[in-house]
């Protein structure tokens, strides 16, 4: 039987994935960083799901903003929201396929206020959200649940069900070339805020850390 795990550690998760096997308002992975000031962000991950409803991909909250940096898949076909400083931009026409591994990156820069989404190597339009204000304060990052308050306010109907792997976060906007290297699983510079190869994380509830499945032909 599956068991609820409470695991806190710092590990090289190369070749592994977090499995979120059911819809809940509790199960999640908390990712730890000591950084409390960001003038720019790039976050990347790979995900696999069959959800057609609203669901969270990446949630970063501070005491002043529950949606300080957030990747959120809308129920509407092809729509992904990216929040920065509680302000959202909707990226439409995205080829968000179910039952397939997807590589997702999002960038934001406070100087220009511009965001951009990358999905499976394809860049989106660049859109304005929030400029002139850094992400500051105690940072809580969660996978599997969307924070409607700092570290909480979870809603099962926005939870993620599926698998997530290769989570990285940087304190700057990656170049298109570097994002392409991540997307193509080539050598890239690991995140300097979150690094999948040296990840400080805590599992709360029924989330499994498993070997990433590779299909043999």
| Whether the predicted pLDDT of 41 surpasses 90 | yes
Cα separation of 88 and 56, whole Å?
A: 14
Asked if residue 70 lies in contact with residue 82, where contact means CB atoms within 8 angstroms, the answer is: yes
* Tokens of residue 101, six digits: 């591994």
Q: Tens digits of per-residue pLDDT, 44-88? A: 999 999 999 999 999 999 999 999 999 999 999 999 999 999 999
pLDDT of residue 72: 97
Cα separation of 143 and 128, whole Å?
A: 25
Question: What's the chain's Rg over C-alpha atoms?
Answer: 16
Cα separation of 6 and 214, whole Å?
A: 27
Q: Which residues contact 4 (CB under 8 A, 6 or more apart)?
A: 27, 205, 206
Q: Tens digits of per-residue pLDDT, 157-213? A: 999 999 999 999 999 999 999 999 999 988 999 999 999 999 999 999 999 999 998
pLDDT of residue 196: 97
pTM for the model stands at 0.94
| Whether the predicted pLDDT of 5 surpasses 70 | no
Sorting pLDDT into bands at 50, 70 and 90, what band is 8?
low
Asked if residue 128 lies in contact with residue 140, where contact means CB atoms within 8 angstroms, the answer is: no
Q: Which of 71, 113, 115 is nearest to 96 (CA)?
A: 71
Asked if residue 54 lies in contact with residue 78, where contact means CB atoms within 8 angstroms, the answer is: no
Taking each continuous run of H as one helix and of E as one strand, the counts in the chain are 1, 17
| Whether the predicted pLDDT of 2 surpasses 70 | no
Residue 180's H or E segment, with its range, is helix 176-183
Cα separation of 79 and 130, whole Å?
A: 20
Domain ranges in the chain are 16-206
Overall average pLDDT of the 84-102 stretch: 96
Collapsed DSSP state (helix, strand, coil) of residue 71: strand
- What CATH topology corresponds to 16-206? Jelly Rolls (2.60.120)
| Residue given tokens 């308050």 in the structure block | 149
Q: Within its chain, how far is the Cα of 6 from the centroid?
A: 21
Collapsed DSSP state (helix, strand, coil) of residue 197: helix
Overall average pLDDT of the 103-128 stretch: 97
Question: Phi-psi region for residue 209, left (φ > 0), alpha (ψ -120 to 50) or beta?
Answer: beta
């Amino acid at each position: 039987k599956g068991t609820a795990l409470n695991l806190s550690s710092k590990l090289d998760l190369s070749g592994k994935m977090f499995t979120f096997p059911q819809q809940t308002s509790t199960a999640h992975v908390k990712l730890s960083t000591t950084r409390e000031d960001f003038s720019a962000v790039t976050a990347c991950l790979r995900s696999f799901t069959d959800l057609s409803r609203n669901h969270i991909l990446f949630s970063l909250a501070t005491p002043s903003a529950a949606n300080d940096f957030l990747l959120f898949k809308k129920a509407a076909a092809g729509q992904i929201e990216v929040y920065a400083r509680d302000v959202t931009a909707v990226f439409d026409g995205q080829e968000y396929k179910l039952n397939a591994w997807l590589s997702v990156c999002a960038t934001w820069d406070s100087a220009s206020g511009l965001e951009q989404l990358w999905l499976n190597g394809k860049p989106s339009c660049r859109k304005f959200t929030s400029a002139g204000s850094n992400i500051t304060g105690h940072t809580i990052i969660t996978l599997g649940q969307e924070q409607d308050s700092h570290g909480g306010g979870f809603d099962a109907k926005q939870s993620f069900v599926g698998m997530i792997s290769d989570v990285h976060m940087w304190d700057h906007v990656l170049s298109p070339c570097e994002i392409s290297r991540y997307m193509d699983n080539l050598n890239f510079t690991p995140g300097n805020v979150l690094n999948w190869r040296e990840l400080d994380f805590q599992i709360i509830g029924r989330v499994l850390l498993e070997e990433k499945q590779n299909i043999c032909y």
